[in-house]
Chains A and B, each alone.
Chain A
């Protein structure tokens, strides 16, 4: 039981990150490989503010602001000039941004892992089972964020414009939609979710280093592809699935050394059976 909750909570962290990948891919048609590193910057923001103020609330708010602004700035400075360039050029730029962020973190904070304790929540007992409270909090907050995001996309004007831009940029412009604004908003939302991911990830590992974002970034990217890149519910399902598999494998001694191999094996299997991912759709070709 506690493994399931741990799995769901790790999975919902992956889902938050995967949403960033999938939304940016859906709207800007690019893989933002620097997305994981925004989590890392968020973690250092938490580290710095905890040391300066000791207040988790201040630290969390700072991380959210820093990540959101960083996402917008990266898009404006690095990706916007490449709009219409070849996908390969954009991909290489994204990898470059990723290394840039890691190097900057290393210059400022050094390569060593730095301990961060936001707050410790301990455990709760439900009858026989003991559950980690931080896992429960993670799960609940992530669920609220995902429901909120789904409603935002479905029910607001901006959300509807995002769907329109992801389908057909020119047609969206002919509705009066400012595509550049929508892309900025998408990067802002994705990066804001990355800040939340940083908070919950730090609750689990309690230390930050310049490469903190790499592993969850890659796992979440895998989750987004499993769910069908571009699909918001797909990213949620893919993330949760991957988190569950990871925790279940780790709880079985015989399987635990192979956890990552099993996760990527499942990705390959799913892509063999359904090349577009679980909820991905093949776009109908335009006439």
Chain B
């Protein structure tokens, strides 16, 4: 069953039509990848789902509820979290304070302690750095912090926007294996990626986005072996 369903979504920025009618769904337990070139509209779609930008048309359904016009902050306690493009951690706060903010809508101290332990077990380096000012973390560490912060809200669905951006190959592998681990422990994942090869290799299904429209869809494996995808996104 689809836990997240986007139907006929249209988003404009002023006169620019960024998303021109996009429909797709994410089923419970899946990893679904959205791949596409720079400016295709991947970030715009995630922002629209999260309620950060207004939609011109279309509907978004989450867990059977229409969330098309739900405010962004209300989706977090409902279990729909996002790790935004460029991390956007709170630079002036410490690592620990960032993680704490991830539990902003939670209220149970015991639950909180368990979650902190859980994210520290995914990212042990953050435990060592808990008192460090987040702005001074390396890019890879900031990505880990951004993911930890989102995991603190116990998401049912996690939207990940380019988690591998700017990371060295070793870090990319680490981040992707943690994404798989998070998924195995029961979180549904919608993943935006430039790194199409990596994304398709862990995705159950994927959609190819070209200037605001979905042009192709299939399982991760099908798309990995598709001639057109190979040419356009996998470097020939």
Residues of A within 8 A of B (CB): 157, 160-161, 163-164, 167-168, 170-179, 284, 286-287
Contact = CB atoms under 8 A, between A and B. Distances in A.
B104 A177 contact: yes
Given A164-B101, A286-B86, A287-B86, A174 B93 contact: no
Contact of B105 (A168, A171, A176, A287): A176
B130 to A, nearest CB: 15
A163 B133 CA distance: 13
Given A173-B72, A175-B76, A176-B153, A164 B93 contact: yes
A284 B135 contact: yes
Contacts of A157: 104
Given A173-B52, A173-B72, A160 B91 contact: no
A167 B90 contact: yes
A119 B112 CA distance: 50
Contact of B90 (A171, A178, A179, A286): A171
A130 B93 CA distance: 45
Interface of B: 50-52, 71-74, 76-77, 81-82, 84, 86, 88-93, 97, 100-102, 104-105, 135, 149-150, 153
Given A163-B90, A167-B91, A168-B90, A173 B73 contact: yes
Contacts, number: 67
B194 to A, nearest CB: 14
A199 B91 CA distance: 37
A215 B73 CA distance: 40
Contacts of B50: 174
B150 A174 contact: yes
Contact of A163 (B76, B92, B135): B92
Contacts of A163: 90, 92-93
Contacts of A176: 73-74, 76-77, 104-105, 153
Nearest to B78: A176
B104 A161 contact: yes
Which of A161, A174, A284, A287 has its CB near the most chain B CB atoms (within 10 A)?
A174
Contacts of A161: 101, 104
B72 A160 contact: no
A171 B93 contact: no
Nearest to A174: B82
Nearest to A173: B72
A177 B71 CA distance: 11
A170 B91 contact: no
Nearest to A281: B92
Nearest to B146: A171
30 contacts: A157-B104, A160-B97, A160-B100, A161-B101, A163-B92, A163-B93, A164-B90, A164-B93, A170-B52, A170-B84, A170-B88, A173-B52, A173-B71, A174-B50, A174-B52, A174-B82, A174-B150, A175-B73, A175-B101, A175-B102, A175-B104, A176-B74, A176-B76, A176-B104, A176-B105, A177-B101, A177-B104, A179-B73, A284-B91, A286-B88
